[in-house]
Amino acid sequence: MKEKIKSKFVELFGNNGDIKVYFAPGRVNLIGEHTDYNGGHVFPCALTMGTYAVARKRNDNKLRFYSMNFEQLGILESSIDELKYDPKEDWINYPKSMIWALKSEGYNIETGFDILYNGTIPNGAGLSSSASIEVLTGFVLKDLFNLNLDMVKLALLGQKAENQYVGVNCGIMDQFIIANGKKDCAIFLDTANLQYEYAPAILKDEKIVIMNTNKKRGLGDSKYNKRRAECEKALTELQEKLNIKTLGELTEQEFEENKYLIKDENRKKRAKHAVYENQRTIKAVKALQENKIDLLGKLMIESHNSLRDDYEVTGKELDTLVEESLKQEGVIGARMTGVGFGGCAVSIVKKDKVEEFIKNVGEAYKNKIGYNADFYAVEIGGGPTKL
Ligand code: GLA
């Protein structure tokens, strides 16, 4: 891969100067969905699939971008002095958002640069291709301009870029796991205070299988912001009586005793999901640590049901993948992952059943939905690296 993308870079941008190659992963969240903007826990891992970049500093303020995933768009030019979201700028809004975030906090990006990207994660599938580009760009700039920046700060800047430049009010999960991924481990992150620990997620007899609905999402971003606003409103209602800063502080019982304070049925359901999902995540990590893989599977299924019924972010494509998965021999658990409304689901499947699982779920999905799903039996990889 390194040689292939480097020679493409040379073909497009020439051979002079110091050309460097980098990688940042994509991510899949095992459990803890829509908890990261509610002060709850998440349990994602980084993938060996991700985004590669080849980059070189320039002597002027020009930026030249090229993506091997959008070759038809050719080289896109801009400048480090033009950092404002523009829908016409397409995918380069993501790397530009990161330059903006760094500059907004006083990091000195002295000159422009040429950069080529090549992603091996399917775009827009909910495996965080955008956070991967953001964190990767930050990592490249840290190296090119010797920025004094640790990986937690890098993740926070990625989130700022997404929130304030791109306009999606995302939590910290995606940027955090991408910046801090560790081979064969999932990260157990408390989003209330960013404390985290790695939990070995080497499954002896099982594989993680990601299932892509191939459904284009469209309205996902605005619905995402809406869910977030509903949770914030529910929190304000609970705060009339409770001294809490986030929904993540509540146990299931505390929620049940106080839910009458939430004056709208939908908001009640959203808040219920946030509280129960956070508790499920804590239980799931414990289950994995104690090698109780069946319990982990059961919690994943409960998570999906809650996202379907209370948070209402699944849809027939994701529900079909999960329902069909759960009919298969050798499946431990399955659930949607990421923002929802389309994108991917994740399942844990006995190694010797993976092939049959993919075949059966694939056929059933095609019959019910009318087009194919894609399947990836994935490995858990590390964070950003220079190659
Ligand atoms: C998206 C966001 C994350 C998180 C998930 C849902 O991936 O970027 O911050 O909220 O959705 O769990």
In the beta sheet, which residues pair with residue 21?
Answer: 54
Q: Are strands 62-67 and 41-42 parallel, antiparallel or unpaired?
A: unpaired
Q: What is the DSSP letter of 122?
A: P
C-alpha of 344 from chain center: 11
Does residue 281 or residue 125 have the better pLDDT? 281
Helices 129-144 and 173-180, interaxial angle, to 10°? 50
* Alpha-carbon separation of residue 270 from 7, 120, 163, 219, 258 (angstroms): 49, 34, 21, 19, 14
Closest CA to ligand 1's atom 8: 170
Least confident of 27-41, 129-143, 191-205: 191-205
Q: What is the set of domains in the chain, with CATH numbers?
A: 2-200 (3.30.230.10)
Euclidean distance between CA atoms 45 and 186, whole angstroms: 4
Angle of CA points 197, 132, 229, to nearest 5°: 75
Please give the full DSSP string across 147-175, using - where no structure is assigned.
----HHHHHHHHHHIIIIII-----SHHH
pLDDT of residue 56: 98
Indicate which residues carry an active-site annotation: 174
Q: What is the pLDDT of residue 221?
A: 66
> Residues 328-371: pLDDT tens digits?
999 999 999 999 999 999 999 999 999 999 999 999 999 999 99
pLDDT of residue 218: 60
What's the rounded Cα separation, in Å, for the pair 107 and 241?
43
Pocket of ligand 1 (CB under 6 A): 33-34, 36-37, 170-171, 173-174, 338-339
Atom 1, ligand 1: residue with shortest CA distance? 339
